[in-house]
Chains A and B, each alone.
Chain A
């Protein structure tokens, strides 16, 4: 089988355009997903059966069905109904771009909600008791203690979810979008250089993943700094009487 490096350079601009759309899809649906996931997670962590029933069903549906099915339902499924085609939603649902955003957001919201739920429940009870002891009411507790702590706890797992979403976004190519995968497929469809194009696309996906991994490492370091061991040298001019004989010898 012949191998043509040239086509990769020739079509690189189109692949990069696709990569940009991929990034956009992941970023926009990621942000919408978080916005949906936070209230869902709070409801899901509730003790009241009626409050947690709805998020439970939502999460069950979106985790229990393939993303491809969800995309097809939003894009090809919804458009089958006259009611939807004549509604005010149609200008949005008509666009493949927004259908992809909707499907990805709903999907990632379900996974993220479950992540945040477990993070909320992982917050040490003592911290909540302390908050109560100093007289914080429930909403202040959520704002000052529950959400910031849950964010830190969920961060590593959430980074994982973002990377899964990046790869899931390749399904946008099935609804006519020219994301990175869509661009690679369209180009190889006419140049018959599938191996070259998919290799190039794979490398670009790896680069984007590296970017996401780096970003999350940085955030983990910032927000979970207390988990990192920082050695601090004892100042040389410290009063000898303050020295701890067990540490500094």
Chain B
């Protein structure tokens, strides 16, 4: 144990020496994303991680002149993995919430999210508390949408929580769900696909003041570096270029 601490201290000192020597020299930053949240992060046919989050991560690393490695990690265990130092940052469309702030730090937002209901065309479900009474509504587990359902409608609707967003879409198509509450942008992307034909957004967007940030361990100076880099890529137009590849409107 003592040896370990010694090593840790030695590593810290060495680390600070290196960064003091050359602030621009690349430190290896390991970044986790989920890989099942199109179009923000997904896996292409070659097994490569792609998507908005991944491109933003790469742009930020280029801006910070850092050497980055992007890894995939299941959503459920993504925060525990960060705390266990398996990686140094999470760029996976993660909302900044009170509950998460208790265990991790966040950079400033890199986009803003709203929630929206998706239902089958012509199902005429009114997405209010009264209209959804007795219905089955799905969301991904461990998401803002899931918590919104549990907190606001848990007493009147049957809430079903899925491991991945994709599984929730499958059950919506199967007719097991009357409605799906989801972050709007990935649902926007899904509605444009072949599977999503025949489904549409219903009701008003739910603005839950939801800002998406980059999670790092508590007290890690990386959060400040990421915040500065985000401002820089927004200012120089890199952000807008990535944005328009995915959405015809700004999501910042």
Interface residues of A (CB under 8 A from B): 1, 76, 79-80, 85, 94, 96, 174, 176, 185-186, 189-192, 194
Which of A79, A85, A176 makes the CB contact (< 8 A) with B161?
A: A176
- Looking across the interface, which residue of chain A has its beta carbon closest to that of B147? A190
A76-B102 in contact given A176-B162, A189-B142 (Cβ < 8 Å): no
A192-B176 in contact given A79-B170, A176-B160, A186-B141 (Cβ < 8 Å): no
Give the distance to chain B from A95, nearest Cβ to Cβ, in Å.
8
A189 CA / B100 CA spacing, docked (Å): 10
Q: Contact check, B175 vs A85: say whether CB atoms are below 8 A apart.
A: yes
A194 CA / B81 CA spacing, docked (Å): 11
Q: Contact check, B174 vs A79: say whether CB atoms are below 8 A apart.
A: yes
A190 CA / B170 CA spacing, docked (Å): 24
Q: Contact check, A85 vs B174: say whether CB atoms are below 8 A apart.
A: yes
Q: Contact check, B77 vs A194: say whether CB atoms are below 8 A apart.
A: yes
- Looking across the interface, which residue of chain B has its beta carbon closest to that of A90? B175
A79 CA / B150 CA spacing, docked (Å): 26
Q: Which residues of B contact A96 (CB under 8 A)?
A: 160, 176
Q: Which residues of A contact B102 (CB under 8 A)?
A: 192
Interface residues of B in 89-143 (CB under 8 A from A): 99-100, 102-103, 138, 141-142
Give the distance to chain A from B4, nearest Cβ to Cβ, in Å.
15
- Looking across the interface, which residue of chain B has its beta carbon closest to that of A76? B170
Give the distance to chain B from A2, nearest Cβ to Cβ, in Å.
8
Q: Which residues of B contact A176 (CB under 8 A)?
A: 138, 160-162, 171
A233 CA / B159 CA spacing, docked (Å): 65
Q: Which residues of B contact A94 (CB under 8 A)?
A: 174-176
Give the distance to chain A from B82, nearest Cβ to Cβ, in Å.
11
A185-B141 in contact given A176-B161, A176-B162 (Cβ < 8 Å): yes
Give the distance to chain A from B175, nearest Cβ to Cβ, in Å.
6
The 6 A-B residue pairs with the shortest CB-CB distance in the complex, in nearest-first order: A189-B142, A79-B174, A176-B160, A192-B103, A194-B80, A76-B170
Give the distance to chain B from A192, nearest Cβ to Cβ, in Å.
5
| Size of interface on B: residues with Cβ below 8 Å to A | 26
Q: Contact check, A186 vs B161: say whether CB atoms are below 8 A apart.
A: yes
Q: Does B167 count as interface, using CB distance less than 8 angstroms? A: yes
Q: Contact check, B174 vs A80: say whether CB atoms are below 8 A apart.
A: yes
Q: Does B83 count as interface, using CB distance less than 8 angstroms? A: yes
Q: Does B27 count as interface, using CB distance less than 8 angstroms? A: no
- Looking across the interface, which residue of chain A has its beta carbon closest to that of B140? A189
Q: Contact check, B175 vs A191: say whether CB atoms are below 8 A apart.
A: no
Q: Which residues of A contact B83 (CB under 8 A)?
A: 1
A185 CA / B80 CA spacing, docked (Å): 13
- Knowing that A80-B174, A176-B138, A185-B141 touch, tell me 6 more A-B residue pairs with CB under 8 angstroms: A76-B171, A94-B174, A96-B160, A174-B163, A176-B171, A189-B142
Q: Which residues of A contact B79 (CB under 8 A)?
A: 192
Q: Which residues of A contact B99 (CB under 8 A)?
A: 190-192
- Looking across the interface, which residue of chain B has its beta carbon closest to that of A189? B142
Q: Contact check, B100 vs A192: say whether CB atoms are below 8 A apart.
A: yes
A76-B167 in contact given A176-B162, A194-B77 (Cβ < 8 Å): yes
Interface residues of B in 8-60 (CB under 8 A from A): none
- A80, A186, A189: most-surrounded residue (chain B CB, <10 A): A189
| 26 A-B residue pairs with CB within 8 Å | A76-B170, A76-B171, A79-B171, A79-B176, A80-B173, A85-B174, A85-B175, A94-B174, A94-B175, A96-B160, A176-B138, A176-B161, A176-B162, A176-B171, A185-B141, A186-B161, A189-B142, A189-B146, A190-B142, A190-B150, A191-B99, A192-B99, A192-B100, A192-B103, A194-B77, A194-B80
A196 CA / B141 CA spacing, docked (Å): 18
A76 CA / B176 CA spacing, docked (Å): 10
A79 CA / B161 CA spacing, docked (Å): 18
Give the distance to chain B from A180, nearest Cβ to Cβ, in Å.
15
A194 CA / B80 CA spacing, docked (Å): 8
Q: Which residues of B contact A191 (CB under 8 A)?
A: 99
Contact pattern, B 145-177, Cβ under 8 Å of A = 1, otherwise 0: 011001000000000111100010011011110
Q: Does B205 count as interface, using CB distance less than 8 angstroms? A: no
A194 CA / B160 CA spacing, docked (Å): 20
Q: Which residues of A contact B146 (CB under 8 A)?
A: 189
